[in-house]
Amino acid sequence: MRTILYLIRKEFIQIFRNTFLARAIFGIPIVQMVILVPAVTFEIRNIELCVVDKDMSTESRQLISRIQGSEFFLLKHTTFNEKEADDMLHSDKCDMVLHIPENFGRNVTREGNDKIMVAVNAINATSAQLAWAYMRGILQDYNAELMVQNLQTGTPARMSFIETTNRFWYNPSLNYKYYMLPGILVILVTAIGLLLAGLNVVREKEMGTIEQLNVTPIRKYQFITAKLIPFLIIGLIDLAFGLLIGKILFNIPFNGSIALLFLFAALYLVAVLGLALFLSTLSSTQQQYLFVVFFILMIFILMSGIFTPAESMPLWAQQFNIINPAAYFMRVIRMVMLKGSGFSDVLPDIRGIILIGIGTISLAIWRYRKTV
Amino acid sequence: MINEKVIEVKDLVKKFGSFVANDNLTFDVYRGEIFGFLGANGAGKTTTLRILSGLSKPTSGDVRVAGFDIYRHAERVKRHIGYMCQKFSLYEDLTVAENIMLYGGIYGLPKKLIEGKTTELLESMDFTAYRKRIIGDLPLGMRQKLAFAVAILHDPDIVFLDEPTGGVDPITRRQFWEMIYKASADGITVFVTTHYMDEAEYCDRVSIMSEGRIVDIDSPAGLKDKYRCATVQDVFVKIARPSNNKTG
């Protein structure tokens, strides 16, 4: 036990004497929170719209002003020339073209119907679908209004329709930052864990200092524990720091228990650090280590459900997530922060992450060799 | 006392693939002696040293160090030995005192004792002013002396030194050997590899290796007599590089 304390003390002295590392530990969370959280969003605003209004009637202007009134669209250009509008779409100068045919107003009021056409640039399928959904909403509203007008102007008929209202639970204002911030925190904690601890061990190999340790009677578990605890503490400090920045900058809600989140984060870090230490025993240079970790980090994070819900991934991907520690943390941090889930809600995840942790730590201890 | 064996090696073989680094080595080292392990570059000295200090496993042969079998009790052997690597391997970003404290702690010495030893050590080396200096900032000779001091901090039975004075100036080399003598006088067996033949003259016994085999083992005087040479250097040239001798 005393041996471990001496070693841990040595790690902390080394980390904080390295001014770059000490700054990075506190700088990275700030940069990630300030830049990534507002930038990584699925909300679509400022869809650039080009309108081909061949009608120029009251009705067409009403429709256009409704579109302009919504916060999603930006009327970039109005023209009579269809080709010009298509060219704009082709050359990416606008995202959407709305064609209003001649006699639109007359047909709508007299005949009771007409057709308009919407063309969307769908290179980014998600944003195209969203843009189209917003546009359809506006058109439907307008449609309904026209119907009511028609009703008032004559033709008495009973119109019955179902009015729907909805409420979004856990994130009522559909604020994407609330969804993304916990995800960014997962990236932060994972990267700190995988990179710092692993590189530290590989650096000892490169410098040759590990050889001096290996001729001492130090036990394998002592070595692994002493390498694990400092980075566990740093990871938790970074998590707290990131949460604090999130609270100050974005007023992120925290509905659950902070203690529960940190308990889970500690278990998660043990699992990730175990993996880092295991990988470091396989690499002899920092370059090798970085190369391997880069891929693992990317797979872990993208599969964890940070952007796309893990539940809608293909079955094999969901099965892979059973061994992906980041998927557990991603789920739990959102559950605890946004839903206020309690201990019993996350118990299956706690069990899972403990099993992964036992696995990675055992691998690290088994693979660490005191001989060369 | 002098006849007590602290290292017993019998038929030691170490192969890396098809390359035989140590070819049937057999030798003993006695308690308290300074044992010089000589040989040209690539003769297999470091390989043997690593096996004796438990950093590497032999392919075959019997090896006992400090009374323990190297196969079954490698970790127990480590309690009784000190080791100084060819490459400087204290923590360069820690201070002198922090390095001593760390290794003292790893060997389980009480904190008070470590502090006392630190003061004593630094005084004996005239290093008191450097106690809080980062080791990486110190000159090579000073670092090597510190590395030796740390290697014998826990009063081991045997200390293994792998080319401890490589690149060190002559004055510091002399001081280094004074430290070795003192350790030897305190009962620590010193197992040292070197390329400096004047240092070989300081040893109680030397072994000369060539291409993985031990060519001869004796006291410096005995070797000089046997090969009719004036210095160990001449003996070395004569027997460690037979191919050189023929062409020269």
CB B146 within 8 A of CB B135: yes
CA distance A233 to B186: 44
Tell if the CB–CB gap between A216 and B107 is shorter than 8 Å.
yes
CB B84 within 8 A of CB B39: no
Closest A-chain CA to B156: A216
Q: Is A20 on the interface with B (CB under 8 A)?
A: no
Sort out which chain B residues have CB atoms less than 8 A from A211's CB and list them: 55, 85, 87, 89
CB A360 within 8 A of CB A279: no
SS percent in chain A: helix, strand, coil, step 5: 70, 5, 25
Tell if the CB–CB gap between B50 and A372 is shorter than 8 Å.
yes
Sort out which chain A residues have CB atoms less than 8 A from B54's CB and list them: 215, 370-371
Q: Could you tell me if residue B131 is inside a domain? A: no
Three-class DSSP labels, B48-80: HHHHHCCCCCCCEEEEEECCEECCCCHHHHHHC
Tell if the CB–CB gap between A18 and B93 is shorter than 8 Å.
yes
Residue B246 — pLDDT band, cuts 50, 70, 90?
very low
Q: Is A15 on the interface with B (CB under 8 A)?
A: no
Number of Cβ within 10 Å of residue B247's Cβ equals 6
pTM here is: 0.83
Interface of B with A in 43-72 (CB under 8 A): 50, 53-57
Sequence-separated (6 or more) residues with CB below 8 Å from residue B221: none
Three-class DSSP labels, A119-157: EECCCCHHHHHHHHHHHHHHHHHHHHHHHHHHHHCCCCC
CA distance B73 to A125: 65
pLDDT in tens, B209-240: 999 999 999 999 999 999 999 999 999 998 88
CA distance A205 to A209: 7
φ, ψ of residue A253 to 5 degrees: the values are -75, 150
Tell me what pLDDT residue A73 has.
87
Tell me what pLDDT residue A37 has.
85
CA distance A77 to A50: 5
Q: Per the structure block, which two tokens stand in for A242?
A: 């990131």
Sort out which chain B residues have CB atoms less than 8 A from A370's CB and list them: 54-55, 74
Tell if the CB–CB gap between A14 and B83 is shorter than 8 Å.
no
Q: Per the structure block, which two tokens stand in for B90?
A: 């204290």
Sort out which chain A residues have CB atoms less than 8 A from B76's CB and list them: 217
Tell if the CB–CB gap between B105 and A214 is shorter than 8 Å.
no
ipTM of the complex: 0.90
CA distance B89 to B147: 8
Closest B-chain CA to A211: B89
Q: Is A12 on the interface with B (CB under 8 A)?
A: no
Beta bridge partners of B189: B158
Query: By C-alpha distance, which of A261, A204, A197, A198 is closest to A232?
Result: A197
Tell me what pLDDT residue A136 has.
87
CA distance A72 to B72: 74
Range of the domain at B204: 5-90+157-247
CA distance B27 to B33: 14
Instruction: Divide the 372 residues of chain A into consecutive groups of 10 and give the mean pLDDT of each group.
Output: 93 92 89 86 78 88 87 86 88 89 84 82 81 85 78 58 69 76 94 93 94 93 95 96 93 93 98 97 95 95 88 90 96 94 95 97 93 74
Q: Could you tell me if residue B85 is inside a domain? A: yes
- The count of residues in chain A is 372
Q: Could you tell me if residue B64 is inside a domain? A: yes
Tell me what pLDDT residue A162 has.
67
Sort out which chain B residues have CB atoms less than 8 A from A2's CB and list them: 105, 108
Tell if the CB–CB gap between B105 and A6 is shorter than 8 Å.
yes
Tell if the CB–CB gap between B106 and A17 is shorter than 8 Å.
no
Q: Is A7 on the interface with B (CB under 8 A)?
A: yes
Number of Cβ within 10 Å of residue A19's Cβ equals 8
Tell if the CB–CB gap between A3 and B106 is shorter than 8 Å.
yes
pLDDT in tens, B106-152: 999 999 999 999 999 999 888 899 999 999 999 999 999 999 999 99
- The count of residues in chain B is 248
> For B108, which of A3, A10, A13 is closest by C-beta distance?
A3
Sort out which chain B residues have CB atoms less than 8 A from A218's CB and list them: 106
- 């880092």: which residue's tokens? A276
Q: Could you tell me if residue B14 is inside a domain? A: yes
Q: Could you tell me if residue B148 is inside a domain? A: no
**What is the total count of domains within chain B?**
1
Tell me what pLDDT residue A80 has.
87
Q: Could you tell me if residue B152 is inside a domain? A: no
Closest B-chain CA to A12: B94
Closest B-chain CA to A207: B89
pLDDT in tens, B42-60: 889 999 999 999 999 999 9
Classify the C-alpha dihedral A297-A302-A307-A313 as positive or negative: negative
**Residue contacts between A and B (CB atoms, under 8 Å):** 76
Sequence-separated (6 or more) residues with CB below 8 Å from residue B246: none
Tell if the CB–CB gap between B89 and A212 is shorter than 8 Å.
yes
Q: Produce one character per residue of A65-74: b if its CB has 16 or more CB atoms within 10 Å, e if not.
A: eebeeeebbe
Q: Could you tell me if residue B110 is inside a domain? A: no
* Mutation site, B83, B90, B91, interface A, largest A CB count within 10 A: B91
Sequence-separated (6 or more) residues with CB below 8 Å from residue B113: B104
Q: Min CA distance, B214 vs chain A (Å)?
A: 23
The alpha-carbon radius of gyration of chain B (Å, integer) is 18
Closest A-chain CA to B98: A10
Q: Is A19 on the interface with B (CB under 8 A)?
A: no
CB A99 within 8 A of CB A53: no
- Domains in chain A with CATH codes: 18-40+176-367 (no CATH), 47-152 (3.40.1710.10)
Tell if the CB–CB gap between B103 and A216 is shorter than 8 Å.
yes
Q: Is B92 on the interface with A (CB under 8 A)?
A: yes
Tell me what pLDDT residue B28 has.
95
User: What is the CATH number for B216?
Assistant: 3.40.50.300
Number of Cβ within 10 Å of residue A218's Cβ equals 20
What are the C-alpha distances in Å from A287 to residues A203, A267, B122, B165? 10, 28, 38, 32
Tell me what pLDDT residue A178 has.
86
Sequence-separated (6 or more) residues with CB below 8 Å from residue A13: B94, B98
Answer whether residue B243 shows pLDDT above 70.
no
Query: By C-alpha distance, which of A263, A285, A266, A268 is closest to A198?
Result: A285
Q: Could you tell me if residue B220 is inside a domain? A: yes
Concatenating the DSSP letter of every residue in A6-28 gives: HHHHHHHHHHHHSHHHHHHHHHH
Tell if the CB–CB gap between B91 and A5 is shorter than 8 Å.
no
